[in-house]
Structure 1
Amino acid sequence: MEEGTTPANSLEPPPLPYTLRTRKRAIAFFWTLFVIDTCAQPVALYFGLWYGTNLSHNMVFTIVTAALGGISVFEYFYRLYNLFRKDSRARPLNAKKSWLDFFHINFTLVWLILAVELIVGTVQPEPYVRLVAMVLPSVMFYFGFVHLSLDVLRMMGFKAPFRISSTPKGSVMPTALYVLIEDVVAVDGGGGQMYRYALRTRYLSSPYFRRMLFEMNCFWAGGSIIWAGAITAIVFTTPEPVAYTLGWCLPFVWAALWTIITIPWVQSDLRREKKAWRENRGQLGIPFTDDIDAPHGRTRLGSVQDRLPQLFPWTREKASTPSTPEPSSPETHPEIPIQNSTCEADPQAA
Structure 2
Amino acid sequence: MEEGSVHSEPPPLPYSLHTRKKAIAIFWTIFVIDTLAQPLVLYWALWYATDLSHNLVFSIVTACLGGVSVFEYFYRLYNLFRKDSRARPLNARKSWLDFFHINFTIVWLILAVELIVGTVPEEPYVRLVAMVLPTVMFYFGGVHLSLDVLRMCGFKAPFRISSTPKGSVMPTALYVLIEDVVAVDGGGGQIYRYALRTRYLSSPYFRRMLFEMNCFWGGGSIICAAAITAIIFTVSQPVAYTLGWCLPFAWAAVWTLITIPWVQSDLRRERKAWQAGGLRGGIPYTDDINAPTPRTRFESVQAHINFLPWAREKQSPPPTPSDSRPTEDGAVDEERGEAGGGGVGREHQSTPGP
TM-score band by shorter chain is 0.7 to 0.9
After superposition, the Cα gap between the structure-2 partners of 1:279 and 1:139, relative to the gap in structure 1 and judged at 3 Å, is same
Of 132, 138, 141 in structure 2, the residue corresponding to residue 135 of structure 1 is 132
Question: How many equivalent residue pairs?
Answer: 317
The answer on 1:90 being equivalent to 2:87 is yes
User: Share of identical aligned residues, percent?
Assistant: 78
| Residue 70 of structure 1, aligned match among 67, 72, 76 | 67
Question: TM-score normalized by structure 2?
Answer: 0.87
Q: 1:166 & 1:312 partners in 2: Cα distance? A: 40
How far off is 1:277 after superposition? Answer: 1.0
TM-score, reference length from structure 1 = 0.88
What is the CA deviation profile of residues 74-117 of structure 1, one whole-angstrom value per residue up to 9, with x for unaligned ones?
A: 00000000000000000000000000000000000000000000
Query: Residue 173 of structure 2 aligns with which residue?
Result: 176
Gaps of 5+ in 2: 315-335, 341-354
Match of 1:154 in 2: 151
Aligned partner of 1:244 among 230, 241, 244: 241
Aligned partners of 2:305, 2:282: CA distance in 1, in Å? Answer: 28
Which residue is 2:351 aligned to? none
The root-mean-square deviation of aligned C-alpha atoms, in Å, is: 1.7
- Match status 1:26 vs 2:23: yes
CA distance in 2, matches of 1:39, 1:248: 6
Equivalence map 1:39-118=2 (5 Å): 39-118=36-115
Query: Higher relative contact order at CA 8 Å, sep ≥6: structure 1 or structure 2?
Result: 1
Give, as a single letter, the amino acid of the residue that structure 2 aligns with 1:239: S
Asked if the contact 1:17–1:195 (Cα under 8 Å) also holds between the matched residues in 2, the reply is: yes
Match of 1:186 in 2: 183
Q: Mark the CA change 1:245 to 1:312 in structure 2 (over 3 Å): closer, same or farther.
A: farther
Q: 5 Å matches for 1:334-349?
A: none
**1:37 and 2:31 matched:** no
Residue identity opposite 1:192 in structure 2? G
Structure 1 position 254 matched with structure 2 position 244: no
Partner residue of 1:299? 296
Matched, 1:214 2:194: no
Q: Answer yes or no: is the 8 Å Cα contact 2:90–2:193 preserved in 1.
A: yes
Stretches of structure 1 that go unaligned for 5 or more consecutive residues are 1-5, 323-350
| Matched letter for residue 302 of structure 1 | E
Change (3 A) 1:162 1:72: same
8 Å CA contact 1:57–1:126 kept in 2: the answer is yes
Q: Is 1:268 the counterpart of 2:265 in the alignment?
A: yes
Which residue of the partner structure matches residue 3 of structure 1? none
